[in-house]
């Protein structure tokens, strides 16, 4: 900012008030993932990592390319997310889904690392 004005100072004050008022907020990781009962033996040894992935087919009207997105949470807290335009033009809906699942699987393997 080479030339800050009144609006910049006003925005800065708003940000500082917000940060001051929320200084005790934070993300807490721990416990068990949602839906896992303490008595459930079936869930023993499962990863606390939870992932979601979705894709749309040819959503970009100019290039007909598709968008893929994923979100990963550990114990319910988001740790990784991404939404990108796929680098190729897919020929079918299932191809779009496979590309999205492949990218999300690579990220999941990295996070499990």
Per-residue model confidence as pLDDT tens digits over 50-59: 899 999 999 9
**Location of structure tokens 């839906």:** 35
pLDDT at 90: 92
pLDDT at 74: 84
How open is the CA angle 57-62-64, to the nearest 5 degrees? 25
pLDDT at 48: 82
pLDDT at 29: 64
Give residue limits of the domains in the chain: 32-112
Q: Where are the alpha helices (DSSP H) in 1-113?
A: 6-21, 93-112
**Cα Rg, the chain, nearest whole Å:** 21
pLDDT at 30: 64
List the chain residues with pLDDT less than 70: 1, 27-46
């Amino acid at each position: 900012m080479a030339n800050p004005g009144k609006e910049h100072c006003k925005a800065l004050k708003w940000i500082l008030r917000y940060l001051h008022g929320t200084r005790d907020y934070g993300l807490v990781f721990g416990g068990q993932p949602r839906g896992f009962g303490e008595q459930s033996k079936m869930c023993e040894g499962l990863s606390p990592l939870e992932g979601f992935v979705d894709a749309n087919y040819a959503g970009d009207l100019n290039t007909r390319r598709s968008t893929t997105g994923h979100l990963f949470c550990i114990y319910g807290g988001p740790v990784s997310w991404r939404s990108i335009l796929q680098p190729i033009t897919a020929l079918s809906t299932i191809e779009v889904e496979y590309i999205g699942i492949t990218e999300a699987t690579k990220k999941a393997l990295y996070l499990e690392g």
